[in-house]
Structure 1
Amino acid sequence: MLSREPKRQYQTIGLKLRSLLEQGDYQVGERLPPEREIAQLYDVNRAVVREALIMLELEELIEIRKGSGIYVIAQPAPRPSNTDEQDGIRDDIGPFEYLQARQLFESQLAELAAIQVTKHDIKAMNQALVSEKQALAEGDTSYDGDKSFHLAIAKATQNSLLEEMLESLWLRRQQSPMWKKLHTHITNHSYRKDWLDDHQKILSAIKMKNAVEAKQAMWQHLENVKQRLFELSDVNDPEFDGYLFSSAPLHNIPTLE
């Protein structure tokens, strides 16, 4: 789906970078400034810049080379003068914005699930964890077990609309070119084992019907996911500085009275 107006912050930055290429500020073969400098130039965080670069990469204007930098491989094709500047933007959510939305939404789901959970729900979560462990042991890097675990938590809320909303978020990720392109820069999947520990903490809190701990465990899990994916997809700076999509710190999560 194409949109005439940039809905996302990364699209606005992507258009500004594309404009620099159109004006010839950077020629084919030249390297763009590091993400940190681009972030400072436009006063945004590095996750937004990362998403903007993925946008240009999908347009085959730049190439992101691990350990080397970001290189211009083509200049944007000339567009008619009557073409709107924002015309032709593919409407896709950025991967870090997507994860932030899940973090806010799913921490609430885990809280409610801890209150509403049944023995059948616990069994489904356990089965999902077993499947996830087995898949990783066999070298399967699909997200089927991960997805089943998160959806089992949504089902445990006993609210079918919440379950459908989470399913739609997973479907959006599966169909997202931005998400797929991010993962082309990630070759080491050993980090997935850490997520199993996170899932176990979430499950333990839900089993104990501790809503506050369940909410915090889910929040921290998705914070870990954000940071790990950002770190693993970083091409410029091996010293990850945690400069992520702005999100409320863990200690600011509201708790049940």
Structure 2
Amino acid sequence: MSVDKLSERINKMREKPKKAYQKIGLMLQNEIVDGLYKVGDRLPPERDIAQRMNVSRTVVREAIIMLEIQQFVEVKKGSGVYVRKIPSASPSQNESLDNDDAGPFEMLQARQLLESNIAEFAATMATPNDIGRMRQALALEREELDSGSNESKGDEQFHICIAEATQNSVLVSILEDSWRRRSRSSMWKKLHSRIRGQEYRREWMEDHAKILAAIQRRDPLAAKIAMWQHLENVKQRLLELSDIDDPEFDGYLFSSNPVVSVELNNS
């Protein structure tokens, strides 16, 4: 191994990636450095990388996004991922890992676990004023879509209103922080840069209407399932819309909530 390659390995070791996608991205970087892939070469499909490295395709998707941000690879829709440049021995700011940036699908998984339970609790605690604010948020979301705006204030406001309906300020703060984290995330922005069109947002607005209906009925289990399914739909649509290999993506981080499944089986 050359001195440059050895220096590269030492630098990468010092960065100590904490997240699964960072570890997979670093492994792919090392393969590029070792000459397994050269500039202009096409990387294997996500499915093949996932099987070889024994991880989910969502983790590989996030690793590719990381490499894209670092400008090591170029994603060509409908064609694949191509090596753009070889990682350097002294990484620039663009090449360094941001260990605090969670992958977009990891964020969705965390939200799915948190917000399904928030919706369940909100269904038992919501006041008429809370319901009114949720309706206003849904109306704002509809206005944004009908006007063709790229704004998603109504979407965020709807989810925050549900948290506020729990009457628990800690839950509200946690959810607000998750939205701030998303807005700062270069990984999330890069994922959305691959997506064209707005129709998927109308589907999510319909999900919101189902969640609101369950909370209005004061049905905790229905609210929990509706929120869980909504975020599952978000995850699936983002996977499909951003997929460069196969529009019939068939993978999930996980497909069902064990708690919901147990409750349904016992009902």
Provide TM-score, normalisation by structure 2: 0.89
Aligned equivalents of 2:161, 2:78: Cα separation in 1? 39
Task: Provide the C-alpha distance between the structure 2 equivalents of 1:126 and 1:161, rounded to a whole number of angstroms.
Answer: 23
2:146 paired with 1:137? yes
Does the 8 Å contact 2:80/2:245 carry over to 1?
Answer: yes
* 1:206 corresponds to which of 212, 215, 230: 215
- 2:254 alignment counterpart: 246
Q: Which residue of 2 aligns with 1:83?
A: none
Which residue pairs with 1:161 in the alignment?
170
Deviation at 1:244, TM superposition (A): 2.0
More helix by share: 2
SS, match of residue 173 in structure 1: helix
Tell whether the 8 Å contact from 1:100 to 1:247 is kept in structure 2 after alignment: no
Provide Cα deviations, 1:15-45, integer angstroms capped at 9, x if missing partner: 0000011111111111000000000110111
Alpha-carbon separation, structure 2, partners of 1:100 and 1:239: 21
CA contact (8 A) 2:19 2:102 kept: yes
Indicate conservation of the 8 Å contact 1:131/1:145, yes or no: yes
- SS of corresponding position for 1:188: coil
Q: CA RMSD in A?
A: 1.8
* Shift of residue 249, structure 1, vs aligned partner: 4.5
Q: Which of 18, 24, 27 is residue 7 of structure 1 equivalent to? A: 18
Is residue 89 from structure 1 mapped to residue 89 from structure 2 by the alignment? no
How far, CA to CA, are the matches of 1:173 and 1:117 in structure 2? 26
CA shift, 1:78, in A, is 1.7
Closer/same/farther in 2, CA of residues 8 and 215 from structure 1, 3 Å limit: same
Q: Is the 8 A contact 1:186 1:233 kept in 2?
A: yes
2: distance between equivalents of 1:99 and 1:64? Answer: 23
Q: 2:60 aligns with which of 39, 49, 73?
A: 49
Shift in Å, 1:192:
0.5
2:34 corresponds to: 23
SS of the equivalent of 1:89 reads coil
User: For the Cα contact (< 8 Å) 2:117–2:224, is it kept in 1?
Assistant: yes
Counterpart CA distance in 2 for 1:54 and 1:37 is 17
Output the CA distance in 2 between the equivalents of 1:254 and 1:140.
Answer: 40
> Which letter does structure 1 place at the counterpart of 2:126?
V
Please state whether the residue corresponding to 2:75 is helix, strand or coil: strand
Who is 1:224 aligned against?
Answer: 233
CA deviations 1:53-102 (Å, max 9, x no partner) are 0010010000111101000111101249xxxxxx9421210000100000
In structure 2, distance between residues paired with 1:182 and 1:253: 34
Residue correspondences, number: 248
TM-score w.r.t. length of structure 1: 0.92
Percent identity over paired residues: 52
Amino acid aligned to 2:253? F
Out of 15, 24, 33, the residue aligned to residue 44 of structure 2 is 33
Mapped contact 1:94–1:179 kept (Cα < 8 A) = yes
